[in-house]
Amino acid sequence: MAKLRTDNKLEKNILTKLQILIGSDDGEEDYDTTWYPNGFASNQISIGHDGTGSCDGGFRFLRPVIPNNAKIVKAVIRVKSAVNSTKRPVFVIKGLKEPSSNTFAAGGADRPSTRVKTTATVAWTPGADWAINTWYDSPDIKAIIDELITQPEYTGKALGLVIEDNSSPSNQYENIYDFNSGAANAARLILTIAPNIN
C-alpha cells in the first residue's frame, strides 16, 4: 500500500475499499415516502420498480481517506446480489450533497428523497442476469465523488450515495444485501486514488 509523507501527500496510487459499517448507514426507500432501515424484507434492499412504484437504496460510507494532493482516478459502488435474477431494471446513481452525510434516521425523517443530490449523476443499466451471492460493480462514479469532495465545507468524515430507480419497467428490480444480513455482505465503495501532480 502506498504511504503518505509527513505532509499528508500521496506518493503512488492506492486502492481504497470502504464498506458500510453500521446498520443505520444503508436501507431502502419506497415510493419517496417510506424508509426501511433493514431493507424491505429478509435484510434485502430492492432497487428498481417493484410493481407498485420506485424503490431506491441509500448508502453512507465513513472516513474516506483522500490525501491532500490526491485525485480520484476511478470510483465504483460494489453490491452483492441477494437472489438469482433475470430482471432488467434501470438505475441512476447520485451523491448526497452534504459536507458530511449523516446516518439515516430509523423513522425516515432524512431518507434519501429529502436530501440534496449532486448535479453529477451516473446511469446504471444492468444488462445481464444477476446470480445470488455475486458481487456487481457500478459504472465509474468518479464525477459524483469529485463533486462531493470538492465542496468547500467537505469534512472527510462520510460520503452519502443513493442508487435510484430510473423509470424501470414495472416489476423490474434487483435485490441486494443490507448490512443487517451480515457485515461482509454490505455494499462497498471502491476508490482508486492517484497523486495529483498538476
Among 47-61, 81-95, 148-162, the minimum mean pLDDT is found in 148-162
Q: Is 43 helix (H, G, I), strand (E, B) or coil?
A: coil
> Higher model confidence: residue 195 or residue 97?
97
* Mean predicted confidence (pLDDT) in 24-51: 96
Q: Is 181 helix (H, G, I), strand (E, B) or coil?
A: helix
* Mean predicted confidence (pLDDT) in 11-32: 92
Q: Give percent of the chain above pLDDT 90.
A: 81
Q: Is 182 helix (H, G, I), strand (E, B) or coil?
A: coil
Segments making up each domain of the chain, as ranges:
14-195
pLDDT at 171: 98
- Sequence length of the chain is 198
What the block records as the C-alpha cell of 153 is 465545507
* Mean predicted confidence (pLDDT) in 151-155: 88
Can you give the pTM of this predicted structure?
0.92
Contact (CB, 8 A) for 64 and 191: yes
Contact (CB, 8 A) for 82 and 42: yes
pLDDT at 7 over 70: no
pLDDT at 5: 47
Mean pLDDT, the chain, integer: 92
Domain 14-195 matching CATH 2.60.120: the answer reads yes
| DSSP symbol at 7 | T
pLDDT at 65 over 60: yes
pLDDT at 6 over 60: no
What the block records as the C-alpha cell of 15 is 486502492
